Amino acid sequence: MTRIGLLIIAIGLPAIAIVITPMGDLMRGITKASWAYTFTSRAHRATERAYIG
User: Would you say residue 52 lies in a domain?
Assistant: yes
Quick one: pLDDT at residue 1?
63
Number of domains in the chain: 1
Quick one: pLDDT at residue 40?
87
Domain that holds residue 43: 25-53
Q: Among 23, 22, 41, 44, which residue's Cα sits nearest to residue 33?
A: 41
User: Would you say residue 3 lies in a domain?
Assistant: no
DSSP string covering 35-51: HHHHHHHHHHHHHHHHH
User: Would you say residue 36 lies in a domain?
Assistant: yes
User: Would you say residue 33 lies in a domain?
Assistant: yes
User: Would you say residue 35 lies in a domain?
Assistant: yes
Which tens digits make up the pLDDT trace of 1-53? 688 888 888 888 888 888 888 888 888 888 888 888 888 888 888 888 888 76
